Amino acid sequence: MGIKNFELSRLIIGTMRLGDWGVKMDTANLESFVEECLALGLKDFDHADIYGDYTTEQDFGALLTIRPDLRDKIRLTTKCGIKMLSPNRPDHKIKSYDSSKLHILQSVENSLKVLKTDFIDLLLIHRPDFLMNPQDLAEAFESLQKAGKVLHFGVSNFTTSQFELLHSYFPLVTNQIEISISHLQPFYDGSLDQCLKYNIVPTAWSPLGGGVLFQDTKDERVLRIRKTGMALAEKYGAQLDQILLAWLMKHPSGIIPVLGTSRISRVKSALAACNIKLSHEEWYELWQASVGTEVP
Ligand SMILES: NC(=O)c1ccc[n+]([C@@H]2O[C@H](COP(=O)([O-])OP(=O)(O)OC[C@H]3O[C@@H](n4cnc5c(N)ncnc54)[C@H](OP(=O)(O)O)[C@@H]3O)[C@@H](O)[C@H]2O)c1
């Protein structure tokens, strides 16, 4: 049960911006993108029921319909537990979180149906439901695992105490949290310590700050990060995004970035970033640029 046989590639391919919330890739382009990721050894694709207003899983399912052979070559993560207001979910009257057994079981059935697959490799509870009943949720996980519909379970955006609570009922394999040079909270709030303690790999969403670090800005913090990052990029003969990913991956918990790009060239350059080894002091140079002062 649980952690046995669980593995992830060194980088995860996020799908949030591939469909209606981003570049709206058609099936042919999605097929090439997935094939190219696989050729790079990257087989993890990160979904959520809500992406593209509840349409991106379906877009991916369209690919698996014409290329069912791809299913055995990839690993699918999806998330559930957020009930978004959407024309595609007219029964939702207000945005809310729901981790009740009924909602989780129904969400998984729907994800299986639209993704055109018999099983999900990893299911994450997308956001902590303030009304979460850990016993109820563990029962949902057990029945999904027993039925072979979901192989592994984790959470996303959970505080350390929420993680601890659910993990005591059912073995979780990850906490997918926002971590980047522009979002340092997990270094302070114990999330990364907890992953190290339980030997659980943290996965980082918006590892490049959702792209804001590259956009035109007058924001002093972003400009400081960019200046320091660019100097390091020059030293390593690399790009800024590679330095910022290398910075994340230096952490001993083995943070796995969930990439948000839809360009294969950037996926390739992210993979090359795995070989950049920043020194301890260089890591702190970027930390200092982000915080604005030297460490106390
Ligand atoms: N669990 C959660 O609550 C949660 C929340 C948000 C996201 N996620 C997951 O995390 C994944 C990644 O999130 P994210 O998309 O915010 O990640 P991100 O990698 O921080 O940001 C991606 C954005 O940055 C741009 N970008 C990347 N490298 C760039 C460069 N060198 N120059 C200019 N722009 C660059 C990309 O544009 P291009 O496409 O043009 O490269 C894209 O628009 C999502 O797909 C989703 O799977 C999870």
Q: pLDDT per residue over 174-233, tens digit each?
A: 999 999 999 999 999 999 999 999 999 999 999 999 999 999 999 999 999 999 999 999
pLDDT at 207: 98
Q: Is 224 exposed, middle or buried (0-12, 13-18, 19+ CB in 10 A)?
A: middle
- Which residue has 């035109």 as its token pair? 216
Spatial distance between the Cα atoms of 77 and 60, rounded to a whole number of angstroms:
12
The closest alpha carbon to 133, from 101, 158, 157, 172, belongs to 101
pLDDT at 3: 62
Q: Which pLDDT band holds residue 38 (cuts at 50, 70, 90)?
A: very high
Residue nearest to atom 26 of ligand 1 (CA): 211
pLDDT at 5: 78
Contact 179, 186 (CB under 8 A): yes
Q: Which pLDDT band holds residue 66 (cuts at 50, 70, 90)?
A: very high
Q: Which pLDDT band holds residue 4 (cuts at 50, 70, 90)?
A: low
Contact 154, 122 (CB under 8 A): yes
Residue nearest to atom 5 of ligand 1 (CA): 205
pTM confidence score: 0.98
For the chain, percent of residues with pLDDT exceeding 70: 99
Give kind and range of the element (H or E) at residue 227.
Answer: helix 220-236
Contact 160, 194 (CB under 8 A): yes
Read off φ and ψ for residue 167, nearest 5 degrees.
-65, -25
**Ligand 1 atom nearest to CA at 241:** 31
Q: 1 pLDDT exceeds 80?
A: no
Average pLDDT over residues 93-101: 98
Residue nearest to atom 36 of ligand 1 (CA): 261
C-alpha radius of gyration, the chain, whole number: 19
Kindly give the distance from the C-alpha atom of residue 262 to the centroid of ligand 1, in angstroms, as a whole number. 9
Beta strands 203-205; 256-259: pairing state? parallel
pLDDT digits (tens, 9 = 90+) for 135-191: 999 999 999 999 999 999 999 999 999 999 999 999 999 999 999 999 999 999 999
Spatial distance between the Cα atoms of 226 and 141, rounded to a whole number of angstroms:
43
- First-last CA distance in the chain: 44
**Paired tokens of 73:** 């070559």
Q: Mean pLDDT for the chain?
A: 97
**Ligand 1 atom nearest to CA at 127:** 3
* Ligand 1 first shell, C-beta below 6 A: 14-17, 46, 126, 156-157, 176, 205-211, 214, 241, 258-263, 266
CA distance readout (Å), 108 to 12, 112, 121, 141: 21, 6, 12, 10
Contact 57, 27 (CB under 8 A): no
**Ligand 1 atom nearest to CA at 176:** 1
Kindly give the distance from the C-alpha atom of residue 245 to the centroid of ligand 1, in angstroms, as a whole number. 12
Centre a 10 Å sphere on the Cβ of residue 67 and count the other Cβ atoms it contains.
15
Active site residues: 51
pLDDT at 2: 40
Centre a 10 Å sphere on the Cβ of residue 199 and count the other Cβ atoms it contains.
9
What are the chain's domains?
12-173 (3.20.20.100)
Average pLDDT over residues 283-289: 98
Kindly give the distance from the C-alpha atom of residue 132 to the centroid of ligand 1, in angstroms, as a whole number. 29
**Ligand 1 atom nearest to CA at 17:** 45
Kindly give the distance from the C-alpha atom of residue 212 to the centroid of ligand 1, in angstroms, as a whole number. 9
For the chain, percent of residues with pLDDT exceeding 90: 98
Spatial distance between the Cα atoms of 216 and 60, rounded to a whole number of angstroms:
32
CA distance readout (Å), 36 to 74, 203, 264, 267, 270: 12, 22, 7, 9, 14
Give kind and range of the element (H or E) at residue 259.
Answer: strand 256-259
